[in-house]
Amino acid sequence: MASAPSKLCTDDVSLLVVLLDTNPYFWSTSNDSSVSLSNFLSHVLSFLNSILFLNQLNQVVVIATGYNSCGYIYDSSLSSSSSITKSSGNGRVPAFCSELLENLEEFLTKDEKMSIEESIDGIGSSLLSGSLSMALCYIQRIFRSGPLHPQPRILCLHGSPDGPEQYVAVMNTIFSAQRSMVPIDSCVIGAQHSAFLQQASYITGGVYLKPQQLDGLFQYLITVFATDLHSRNFLQLPKPAGVDFRASCFCHKNTIDMGYICSVCLSIFCKHHKKCSTCGSFFGQAQSQAASMSDQKRKGLET
Amino acid sequence: MKGEGQKGEGQKEAVIIWDSGSPLYDSFELVSISHVIERHTMAPSSSLSLTAEIDTRSSCARSSAKMMEEVDEVDSSSKYIWKNLWRSKMKWGRIQKGFVPVCRHSPVSLHNLLKVSSQPASASTARNTRHGGAAPYPHRGSSSSDLFHPYRRPDVLSGTARRISWPMFCLNYCRCLVDFSGCHGFLWLFSMNNIEHREVSNSRGRRLDEEPEGDEDEDEENGRGMDAWERTYVDDRSWESLQEDESGLLRPIDNKSIYHAQYRRRLHSLSSAATTARIQKGLIRYLYVIVDFSRAAAEMDFRPSRMAVIAKHVEAFIREFFDQNPLSQIGLVIIKDGIAHCLTDLGGSPESHIKALMSKLECSGDASLQNALELVNVYLNQIPSYGYREVLIVYSALSTCDPGDIMETIQKCKQSKMRCSIVGLAAEMFICQHICQETGGLYSVALDESHLKELLLDHAPPPPAIAEYAIANLIKMGFPQRVADGVISICSCHKEAKMGGGYTCPRCKSRVCELPTECCICGLTLVSSPHLARSYHHLFPISPFDEVSPSHLNNRDKKSPKTCFGCQQSLLNTGNLSSYCVTCSKCRNYFCLDCDIYIHENLHNCPGCESSRQSNSVILI
Ligand SMILES: [Zn+2]
Ligand SMILES: [Zn+2]
Ligand SMILES: [Zn+2]
Ligand SMILES: [Zn+2]
Ligand SMILES: [Zn+2]
Ligand SMILES: [Zn+2]
C-alpha cells in the first residue's frame, strides 16, 4: 500500500493525476484526424507504464473527464505493486492496463446512460472543471498524509473545446491549484487551442503543449511530461507562446480588449447596460460621464 | 471563571481523589515527574540550598517580612519560569480543577504574594539589585529527585491553603512555585492530570464496550497510546491542550473536531447572512488599515509584545486581503504620540505595504482615534464613487486622546459612508462600540493571539454590499495582451527599456510591467481576466454540505459508494478518527470532512456538482 513506502519519498517521487478526456462526441468526430481513441489509449498506457517504472514509488491516478460525469478509473496505490509488473492472462498487456481499460469501459457505458439529450450540435465540452476538482481533492488527501509525500502534478489530456459555462469553476480550480503549488500540465489533442488550459498552465507554472503530430503522442508525452518537478528546473520545456488573457463578455461571450465591469460583482460587459444581468444592480450615471469622472478622480489621487 | 459553588465542588472532588488512596506517590511517578521537571530545567536549583532551611521551617508561622524577602530572592528565577511555563495566563482557567492549591503558605501570605507580584516588573528588579544577590538561574543536572520526598505530603494538604480562591492562586502560582514549597504544587498538578487521565481511560473502556459507536471524542482518544501528559509535554504548554468534559474530568482537546466544528459554525453563520438569491458584495474596496502603535502597544500580554503580534497578523491580513480582493487597494496609517500619520498611500501591492509596516515597528505616546479618523476621512473622500470606503483599526490603547469632539468626526465619517471596523486588543471600549455602530462596522476584542488572527482575517472577504454605501457603476477596463518574448520596449511605469514580459495597454498601446494597474498614459484600469475571476467565487458560493450521521452511513444499501467522492478516502474506515461525513444537497455525493473544509475554504467548487451535467446547468450564469 501507499502508506508504507511514503516514508522514503524524495523530491523525485511524483504523483501524477491524469485527466483523460472521454467525451464521446469528440472521439467520434476526430476519426478524420490522425488519432483514434484506441490509438490514443495505447500511447497513454505506455506513458503511464513508463512513469510507474521511472521510480518504484511513483503513483498514478487516472480520472476520466466524461461528457455527463467524471470518475476515478485507476489508482496505482490501490492495486498491488506486482500487478504493475505482472502480465495478465494473455501475457501481452500488463495487468494494470487491463484493469484501467475495464474501468474505463464501465465508466463510458455509465456516462452514456446518463445522457439526456439525443444529439448535440458540434462536439460539446467535457466536464473539465469536475475532474480538476476531483484531482485537487485527491491531491489534498496526499498532502494530509504526512510531511513526506510524493510531489503531485496534474496532466490534462484534453481534446474537447472549452465550455464557457465552466469558466468560473475552472478558474476556481486553477487558483486553488496555484495556492497549493500544484502545476497543471496540459496536452491538447484537439483541433484548437484551449484558453482554459493555457491559463491553467500559465498560472500554476505547468507546461502547455499542443502536439503537431499526434502519431508521435507517446514521444511528446515522454519527453515533456514524464520528468518530475525537480528535474524540470534543469530542462528547457516548451514556453507559453502567448497566453490569451483577454476576457470574454458575459452578455455575448465575445472576447474583448476593453469592456465595462460592474463595480458590484465584476461581471464583464462589452457595452454599456442599464442593469447588471448578474447581480441586478442598476447603473445610475451615464457611461461617458461616469468614466470621465472616475478617470479625473483617479488622476487627482495620483498627483 | 467558574462561580464560587463550582469552585468548591472542584476542590472537594479533587480532594476526594486525593484521599481515595490512589498511588500518587509511588516511586515510579515521582521519578517520572522529576524527570519531566529536570528535562525542562524546572528544578529551581537556587532553592536547593534552601531545602534544609525549609524542612526545618514551620510552614505557616513565618513572618510576612521574611516572606517578602524570600520572594525577592526568587524573583529572577521566577522570571525564567514566567517565560518558559506560564506564557498564557488566559488558559489557566482550564487547569483550575486539575490540582489542589498546595502551598505551604497561609492564605494571608498568599495575599502578600499577590501584592508583590502585581507590582510592575521594573520595581521588583530594582529591589533585586538592592538586595544584591539575585538567585542564580536554575540549571540542568541538579539532582532534584530529593526535592520530592514523600514525607512532605501532609504539608501539601494543609487545610488552610485550600481556602484560597482558584484564580488568584493560579495567577500567582508560579510565585509559589519558585518558593520552594511550590514544587509540591507543580508535582501535584502533574499527578492530578495523570489520575484524571487514568480515570478517563477507565470510563472510556467501559463505554466502548457498551456502545461501539460512542461519541466522537471517545473514539478519538482511543487512537492515542500515550498518556496525555506524556504526549503533549514535548512542547511546553501541555496544559493548553487539555479541556474539561461535562463531568469535570480532564481530557486532551481534539483539535481536528474542534477545528471542523468551528468551521461549520462559521460557514452556517455566513450562509444564513447571505439569504438573498443574488448576492451583492462590495468587491472594489478602498481600505485603510489604522494600526495603533501608542504606548499601549508595548504591553507584553501578547508574546513577545502586542506590537510584534499586530505586525505579524496585519501582514498576514494584507496578503489574504489581496488574494481575495485583487482589484482593491489598501493604505496604512499609524497612530503614535497622539497623532496619526500615513505610512503608505492606497495601493495594490502587498509587498510595499508590508515593507513599510515592518520598517516602522516602534511605539510611543498616546493614541488618538479622532486624528486617525479625520486623516483617513480626507483620503477616502477622494476615491471614486463606486468604491467601498472602509477603515480597519487595530487598537491597543484603552483610551483616546483627542484634540476636539470625536462625536463630530464620527458623524462626518458616517456622512462620507466610511465603514469603520475595530479590532481591540485590551478591553471593550464604549467609544469604539459607538464608532462601529454609527458607521456600520464590526467591533471585536481579541482574547488571545489566535483569536486576534481570526478576527483580522474575518475582514478579508468582501463585506455584503450596502446599496447606499457605493453607487453601482460600470467601470471601463482594459484587458491587455502579454507582450511576446524577445520584444524590447520601454515601459511607461518605470521608464526603462525591458525585454519580453509586460503588457500592452489596449487603448494607447503603451507598455506596463505588472497587472492590475492603471495605464500611466491614458488612465485606463488594466486588469487580466484571472484577476477578475479570483473574485467570482464570492458571487457563486456553494451551499454548505449537510451532515450525515455515521449510523445512516452504515445503514445505506450496499450499492451506495463507501468512499469520499472527492478524494476516494474510505468513509467507513474505523481507523479514520472522524466518524461523520457530509453530503452535497445538490448532487447527493458524499464527502469526507477534510474535503468538506477544502471545498468550502479553498476550492469553492463542489466536485460532485461540477462533474454532472444536469446539476451543472443549474448553476450557469
Ligand atoms: Zn457582450
Ligand atoms: Zn453586477
Ligand atoms: Zn515598468
Ligand atoms: Zn493606456
Ligand atoms: Zn475526501
Ligand atoms: Zn454538489
Q: How confident is the model at residue B88 (pLDDT cuts 50, 70, 90)?
A: very low
Q: Where are the alpha helices (DSSP H) in B468-592?
A: 529-539, 550-555
Distance A140 CA to ligand 5 centre (A): 9
Which has more pLDDT, A246 or B305? B305
| Cα atoms in the 13 Å half-sphere on the side-chain side of A132 | 33
Q: State the pLDDT at residue B3.
A: 44
**CA dist., res. B431 & res. B414, Å (int):** 15
Give the distance from residue B419's alpha carbon to the nearest chain A alpha carbon, in angstroms. 16
Q: State the pLDDT at residue B413.
A: 92
Cell numbers 447603473 label which residue?
Answer: A283
Residue of B524, B605, B621 to mutate for A, most A C-beta atoms under 10 A: B605
Task: Tell me which chain A residues have a C-beta less than 8 angstroms from the C-beta of B569.
Answer: 141
A79-83, A251-255, B344-348, range with greatest mean pLDDT? B344-348
End-to-end CA separation in angstroms for chain B: 52
Q: State the pLDDT at residue B466.
A: 67
Number of Cβ pairs < 8 A linking chain A and chain B: 240
A112-121, B101-110, B409-418, B507-516, range with greatest mean pLDDT? B409-418
Which has more pLDDT, B280 or A88? B280
Q: For A277-291, B142-156, B351-365, which range has the lowest pLDDT when averaged over its residues?
A: B142-156
Which has more pLDDT, B206 or B244? B244
**CA dist., res. A21 & res. A30, Å (int):** 13
**Averaged pLDDT score across all residues of chain B:** 66
Which has more pLDDT, A189 or B553? A189
Q: For A15-19, A110-114, A250-254, which range has the lowest pLDDT when averaged over its residues?
A: A250-254
Q: State the pLDDT at residue A255.
A: 78
The predicted model gives B366-376 an average pLDDT of 93
* Beta carbons within 10 angstroms of residue B222's beta carbon: 14
Q: For A90-104, B82-96, B509-523, which range has the lowest pLDDT when averaged over its residues?
A: B82-96
Q: State the pLDDT at residue B104.
A: 39
Which has more pLDDT, B562 or B586? B586
The predicted model gives B472-495 an average pLDDT of 81
Helix (H, G, I), strand (E, B) or coil at A193: coil
Q: Does pTM surpass 0.90?
A: no
Q: State the pLDDT at residue B411.
A: 93
Q: Which residues make Cβ contacts (< 8 Å) with residue A299, sequence separation at least 6?
A: B523
Nearest CA in chain A to B525: A295
Q: How confident is the model at residue B287 (pLDDT cuts 50, 70, 90)?
A: very high
* Beta carbons within 10 angstroms of residue A29's beta carbon: 16
The predicted model gives B222-237 an average pLDDT of 49
Top-tier CATH class for A5-233? alpha beta
Give the distance from residue B120's alpha carbon to the nearest chain A alpha carbon, in angstroms. 45
Q: For A295-299, B173-177, B306-310, which range has the lowest pLDDT when averaged over its residues?
A: B173-177
* Beta carbons within 10 angstroms of residue B4's beta carbon: 9
Give the distance from residue B313's alpha carbon to the nearest chain A alpha carbon, in angstroms. 19
Say whether A133 and B484 touch across the interface (CB within 8 A). no
Q: Which residues make Cβ contacts (< 8 Å) with residue B277, sequence separation at least 6?
A: none
Give the distance from residue B251's alpha carbon to the nearest chain A alpha carbon, in angstroms. 25
**CA dist., res. B317 & res. B392, Å (int):** 11
* Beta carbons within 10 angstroms of residue B264's beta carbon: 18
Q: How confident is the model at residue B422 (pLDDT cuts 50, 70, 90)?
A: very high
Q: State the pLDDT at residue B122.
A: 39
Q: For A162-166, B114-118, B447-451, B562-566, which range has the lowest pLDDT when averaged over its residues?
A: B114-118
Say whether A283 and B472 touch across the interface (CB within 8 A). yes
**Averaged pLDDT score across all residues of chain A:** 81
- Beta bridge partner(s), residue A51: none
Q: State the pLDDT at residue B232.
A: 44
Q: For B25-29, B310-314, B446-450, B591-595, which range has the lowest pLDDT when averaged over its residues?
A: B25-29
Q: State the pLDDT at residue B349.
A: 81
Q: Is the pLDDT of residue A165 over 60?
A: yes
Q: Is the pLDDT of residue B221 over 70?
A: no
Q: Is the pLDDT of residue B297 over 80?
A: yes
Ion ligand 1 nearby residues (CB, 5 A): A 249, 251-252, 270
Say whether A301 and B346 touch across the interface (CB within 8 A). yes
Q: For A72-76, B155-159, B448-452, which range has the lowest pLDDT when averaged over its residues?
A: B155-159
Q: For A84-98, A222-236, B169-183, B553-567, which range has the lowest pLDDT when averaged over its residues?
A: B169-183
Nearest to B43, CA basis, from B145, B133, B128? B145
Per the rule left: phi > 0, alpha: psi between -120 and 50, beta: everything else, B470 is beta
| Segment B20-68, tens digit of pLDDT | 344 444 445 545 555 555 555 443 434 333 333 433 344 333 444 444 4
Total residues belonging to chain B: 621
Q: State the pLDDT at residue B579.
A: 55
The predicted model gives B255-275 an average pLDDT of 65
Nearest CA in chain B to A131: B611
Q: With beta carbons less than 8 A apart as the criterion, state whether B249 and B200 touch.
A: yes
Q: With beta carbons less than 8 A apart as the criterion, state whether B168 and B101 touch.
A: no
Q: Which of A129, A256, A295 sits opposite B523 (nearest CB)?
A: A295
Q: State the pLDDT at residue B271.
A: 61
The predicted model gives B555-584 an average pLDDT of 69
Q: How confident is the model at residue A188 (pLDDT cuts 50, 70, 90)?
A: very high
Q: Is the pLDDT of residue B126 over 50?
A: no
Nearest bound ligand to CA B595? 5
Take residue A113 and report the three cell numbers written for it.
Answer: 446512460
Residue A252, judged by CB atoms within 10 A of its CB (0-12, 13-18, 19+), counts as exposed
Which has more pLDDT, A39 or B578? A39
Q: State the pLDDT at residue B388.
A: 87
| Segment A65-110, tens digit of pLDDT | 988 889 999 998 887 655 555 555 555 667 788 888 999 999 999 8
Q: Is the pLDDT of residue B18 over 70?
A: no
Q: Is the pLDDT of residue B244 over 80?
A: no
**Structural domain spans, chain A:** 5-233, 247-297
Helix (H, G, I), strand (E, B) or coil at A219: helix
Q: State the pLDDT at residue A20.
A: 93
Cα distances from B156 to residues A83, A179, B453, in angstroms, run 67, 55, 41
Total residues belonging to chain A: 303
Nearest bound ligand to CA B526? 4
Take residue A29 and report the three cell numbers written for it.
Answer: 468526430
Q: State the pLDDT at residue B279.
A: 58
Q: Is the pLDDT of residue B278 over 60?
A: no
Nearest CA in chain B to A272: B474
Q: How confident is the model at residue B391 (pLDDT cuts 50, 70, 90)?
A: very high
Which has more pLDDT, B541 or B5? B541
Q: State the pLDDT at residue B616.
A: 45
Say whether B506 and A258 touch across the interface (CB within 8 A). yes
Q: For A226-240, B244-258, B347-361, B510-524, which range has the lowest pLDDT when averaged over its residues?
A: B244-258
Say whether A257 and B470 touch across the interface (CB within 8 A). no
Q: Is the pLDDT of residue B480 over 90?
A: no
Q: Give this complex's ipTM.
A: 0.86
Say whether B611 and A203 touch across the interface (CB within 8 A). no
Q: Is the pLDDT of residue B118 over 70?
A: no
Nearest bound ligand to CA A251? 1
**CA dist., res. B465 & res. B463, Å (int):** 6
**CA dist., res. A111 & res. A106, Å (int):** 9
| Segment B163-213, tens digit of pLDDT | 332 333 333 333 333 333 333 333 333 333 333 333 333 333 333 334 444
Nearest to B87, CA basis, from B239, B227, B232, B231? B239
Task: Tell me which chain A residues have a C-beta less than 8 angstroms from the C-beta of B484.
Answer: 241-242
Task: Tell me which chain A residues have a C-beta less than 8 angstroms from the C-beta of B594.
Answer: 140-141, 144
Percent of chain B with pLDDT over 70: 50
